[in-house]
Every structure is written in structure tokens, then in C-alpha cells.
Structure 1
Amino acid sequence: MKSVDLEAKSALQLDLARRILERMRDLGWDAGTRISVPEMARGFGVSRSPVAAALALLAAQGIVEPTSTRGLQVARRLTDLDFRAVLPQSPLEELHRRMMRERSAGELAQEVSEAELLARYGVPRGVIRKLLMRFAAEGLAHRLPGNGWRFVDTLVGQQAYNESYEFRMVIECAALRSPTFKADLDRFAQIRRAHERIRNAAAATAFDGDDWFSVNASFHEGLAACSGNRFLAEAVRQQNNLRRMQESSAFVDLPVERVEQSCREHIAILDAVEAGEMHWAEDLLRRHLKQASEFRLPG
């Protein structure tokens, strides 16, 4: 394996490289599978340059390799690969998750100043500003006059929690009824593999709460994306951002039984969609969300 200074790589490169690696794993790509930079760029909604840089990082880690025709291919099995060992998170990403959890647990105030965050986390002002701008881009914070910032009202309190799940039932079920709904079977296959991975990890009591949140969110966003309605899809993404802010700490402590149950419910919904039984899929989805809201369990 070639030596590479991971600390010198940008947060964008590391994050995109990790997302590419997760997608290749969940798509079930074996060693020798060819990689298309243009297709990757389209899939992640970025230009080819950052994809090429992320793939170069994966190549330096021995995960992808050149082909005889100047392309790239997967170099090794990914199912038994320890992602964190070969591609650790950037310090920026780690701090983003820490702030998310602390805000979720109520340890970080809703209104904060840059000076307070500097003292709390002991990082340069530029890092704090990058993180705050990221929260703003995710719709989770906005600037106040001066150097203050306010995190958005999230799911604090029973009323807000109930309203969020009521909204999700309306929006996500509407997505299934959209006249332009078209099942993306390739995406569904990826979602299935990710759920199977989570179930196996949960059975071994070794699953990662952040990973499970991402898989959970990808299921709900994936269904909404199939609606062909960009506004429905965006509404689901925004709700997931709010959920990440408020529920991220809960995902870490979820009982194994709840993780396995949620996986089964998600797969049953996919089964119904793939069979063309859209009314049944909608009933299952509404039941899934209603149960999650009643028992205050992430769903």
C-alpha cells in the first residue's frame, strides 16, 4: 500500500472518498469491477474533479487500482474491510458529529457565539466558521446579528416531535402516490445490502449508530427520490437533517431489537414497491412511521 498523508487531505476529499467506498460496498462490487468517474460524479452530484481526487486517495490506500486500459477498478474485497482503519474521518467531520450529538443531547445551547464555540472546542476560528456554514447549508442554523448563531428549532418537546412525524407521514406517503413514481431497482438493491450489513452488525452488537442513521435516511430519501418530485424529495431530506440534529444521540443507544425490526419493516416496504403493490407499501410505511412516533423510536 502506498503511503499517503491523510491529515493533509481536505475534509471534502475524505468525505467523498468514504461515500464512494460505502456505495461500492453496498452495491456489492467485487474486485475487478470497473469504475466510471462520470457516473460517480452524476451519482454524487459533483464535478469529475473531486471524484477523481477521492478515487486517487482510494488508490493510494490500495482499494482501487488502474486497469490495463487506463481506467480504474476495485482492487480488493470490500465486505471485510475496516473502513475507519484505512480511511479515518477528517477532524472537521468528527467535530461536526460531536456538535450534532451535543446539540441533540441539549449540551450545546440553541443560540451560541463564535467565541463560545472557540472556547468550548479549542479549534481555530476558521474551523468553527466552516462548521457553522455547513450547518447553515444543511438548513440547521442561521446567523444572528454580530457573531451569534442560532440552531433551528428541532424536535425538542412532544408537540414538535409529533408534528414532525405527522408531516413525514403526509409527505412520504404522498411520494409513493406520485403519478411519476418509478422504482429505482439499482438503488433499492444498494439499500437492501446496506440494511443486511446493519442487521449483521446489530446481531454481533457491533453496529455504528451514525452508520445506521445514514442507512435509515437513505431508505426514506430513496423512496422520495423515486417520486420524481424534487420538492417531495427535498422535504424528506430536510426532515432527515432535523432528525440528525435531534435524534443522532438516540441512534447510538438503540436496542438491537429495534434496529432489526426497523430493517425488516424497511425491506417489507421495498418488497411491496417492487411488486407494484403501492397501496400496501403506503400502508406499511404509514404504520412504520406511526409506530416510531408513538414509541419515540427513530424510524
Structure 2
Amino acid sequence: MSLDMIDQPISAGSASPLQIDLARRILERIRDSGWAVGTRISVPDLARAFGVSRSPISAALELLVARGILTGFGTRGLQLALDVAELDPQVILPSSPLEDLYRRMMKDRAVGELPQDVSEAELMPRYQVSRGVIRKLLLRFAAEGLAQRLPGHGWRFAESLVGDDAQRESYEFRIVVECAALRSPMFRADLQQLAQVRRAHERILSTVLEGRPLTGGDEWFRINASFHEGLAACSGNRFLADAVRQQNNLRRLQESAGFDQLPTERLERSCREHLAILDAVEAGEIEWAEALLRQHLRQASEFASPARTA
């Protein structure tokens, strides 16, 4: 498919790239949650989990029905029709030229080739696409919290961690906040949520050890972020959890765009360190978990790479 067809339907029906991405994320969640064939699908639960309304969830589920992943039951219900343990979401729902251009723009912004403030008119000749395509891309960035619309046709990308000083300060802040979350007197491990995080890490680790290629940085970033945000959420302190979430938002552009430069041994090490921390939390050894987390973040801060993923 060529770039002049970039704004044409790319999947079942008139699915948008946003709907396809959401369908992939739902499929990843089903896979990492270990749902069995026949498990019923709750639209409200998924809407809460992904922080969106029911309409985009329903549209994404329609794509999974079209792929045979889900099937109907009763009058309006849906259930899991296949064992998805070995399915690759990128194969079931492949990327489109529009999504490829989205990733190109993300990388350009991450390396500083795109300024923080841009206009639609500036971006059209740069990427050789229509205003409608540019607007779709920018609306997707906005929906994901990575850009905001300015008066007129201007847009501003979200703040990000540009430069070594910003990276260092971010890790110093994260050590303080994330370790404090583990020490919170209200800390209660959500074992069901942490089990899902564990399965996702084990799948990534298995992929790396078997020498199979990973599909890209977005999935790993979400898994990595779910680990850190999940632990912070267990603190019972909304402000600590929000601080960790904000740091993940700040580092998303650089780390998703720099995934291709991340050595597989670093990815393996990060997975193993996360799993060791989960082991300690699940065993109730919170002081040991905090020590492991502190060491993990300190080592990550020293890792000299454009994609410091921890």
C-alpha cells in the first residue's frame, strides 16, 4: 500500500489505526491475563482498563470478531473463541502506512528533528501527505496524551526527557517516588494485576531467549510502564501513582522510538530484574523489593543508550 492510499480503510470495515491499535492492546491483555476459551468479554471493564469510552472499545472488539478471536453468545454478548497464548497481535492486526508514518513522526520528535510546536502546514510537505492525514496523526498523538491542539492549526507535543540532564533528574525523582510507594503504610499487593504483569514479562523474556524478533517498542513500553505503575498503584496513594504515570508519559517518545537500538541483553536483564522484584513483593518481602527496585533504577540511569528502558 502506497502513501497516497494512506488514509484509506486498512482493515475490517472502516477501522481506523486507533481502533486497530486498541484491538491489539485488548488482544495483548487477553493473552497476558491467561483468559481461557469461553471467557466472557466486558465492554465496561475494558473501557475502564484503557481509560476510553465504550464506543472505541466496541469498535475494536468488532475487529477481533472479524478475525475470529471473539464470537458472540446470547443476544449481545461476546466471548473468547480461540486460545490466544501463541498469537502475535501484529500478525493478526498488521500495521498500515498511516501507522508507519505515526512511528516515523514519533521518532523524529524523539531525536529533535521535529520541534515541540508545529503546524499542520509545516508537516504536510515534510511528510508529503494531505492535511487530513496530518490531522489524523496529530489527533492520535493527542488521544495518547503526547500532543495538544493550539489555536488555529498549531499543535504542541508533550514535554519529554530531552538531554542527559533531564534523564538523570528523572531517574533521581523516580527512585525517590517509586521506592516511597513501596514503603507506603497503605501498600497492598494486587496479586491479580501483578500476575498479568508477570505473564507479560515472561512472554517477552521467552521471545528474547528463543531469538525471535520483537514487534516493536510500543508493546514493550506498555509492559514496562505497567510494571512501574502497577507497583505504585499498590501504594494506595493516588499522588505517588500519578507521579509515576507522569514520568512514563515523559519518557514514552524517546523510549518507544529508540527501541530498535536497545540491546537484547539489556531487555533480558530488565525483564529478569522486574520479575525478581515481583517475586519479592508477592512473597511479602517489601524491604527486599525496595532494595531491588532502587538498584534496578540506579543501574538503568547509568545505561548509556538512547533507549534507557527500566
Residue 237 of structure 1 pairs with residue 245 of structure 2: yes
Whether contact under 8 Å (2:32, 2:197) holds in the other structure is: yes
Residue 44 of structure 1 pairs with residue 50 of structure 2: yes
Residue 168 of structure 1 pairs with residue 174 of structure 2: yes
Residue number in structure 2 paired with 1:263: 271
Q: Which stretch shows the higher mean deviation, 251-260 or 139-148? A: 139-148
Residue 224 of structure 1 pairs with residue 232 of structure 2: yes
Residue number in structure 1 paired with 2:165: 159
* Shift, 1:130, TM fit: 4.3
Whether contact under 8 Å (1:64, 1:72) holds in the other structure is: yes
* Shift, 1:121, TM fit: 1.8
Change (3 A) 1:166 1:182: same
Residue 75 of structure 1 pairs with residue 97 of structure 2: no
**Unaligned runs of at least 5 residues, structure 1:** none
Question: Structure 2 CA distance, aligned partners of 1:221 and 1:252?
Answer: 24
TM-score of the superposed pair, with normalisation by structure 1: 0.88
TM-score of the superposed pair, with normalisation by structure 2: 0.85
Residue number in structure 1 paired with 2:204: 198
Residue number in structure 2 paired with 1:250: 258
Residue 18 of structure 1 pairs with residue 29 of structure 2: no
* Shift, 1:159, TM fit: 1.2
Q: What CA deviation, in whole Å up to 9, does each residue of 1:152-188 have, x standing for no partner?
A: 5532222111101111111211221222222111111
* Shift, 1:50, TM fit: 3.1
Secondary structure at 2:84's aligned position in 1?
coil
Whether contact under 8 Å (1:14, 1:90) holds in the other structure is: no
Whether contact under 8 Å (1:205, 1:256) holds in the other structure is: no
* Shift, 1:138, TM fit: 5.1
Equivalent residues in 2 for 1:85-234 (5 A)?
Answer: 85-89=91-95, 92-136=98-142, 140-141=146-147, 147-203=153-209, 204-210=211-217, 211-234=219-242
Change (3 A) 1:41 1:139: closer
Change (3 A) 1:69 1:189: farther
Secondary structure at 2:34's aligned position in 1?
coil
* Shift, 1:91, TM fit: 5.2
Change (3 A) 1:133 1:75: closer
Whether contact under 8 Å (1:16, 1:51) holds in the other structure is: yes
Aligned residues: 296
* Shift, 1:79, TM fit: 2.1
Question: What one-letter code is carried by the residue in structure 1 that aligns with 2:171?
Answer: Y
* Shift, 1:150, TM fit: 4.2
* Shift, 1:133, TM fit: 4.7
Q: Which stretch shows the higher mean deviation, 71-80 or 40-49? A: 40-49
Residue number in structure 2 paired with 1:287: 295
* Shift, 1:72, TM fit: 2.0
Whether contact under 8 Å (2:90, 2:215) holds in the other structure is: no
Change (3 A) 1:151 1:35: closer
Identity %: 67
* Shift, 1:143, TM fit: 5.6
Question: What one-letter code is carried by the residue in structure 2 that aligns with 1:250?
Answer: G
Secondary structure at 1:19's aligned position in 2?
helix
Residue number in structure 2 paired with 1:56: 62
* Shift, 1:279, TM fit: 1.5
Change (3 A) 1:37 1:158: closer
Whether contact under 8 Å (1:139, 1:238) holds in the other structure is: no
* Shift, 1:59, TM fit: 0.9
Residue number in structure 1 paired with 2:309: 298
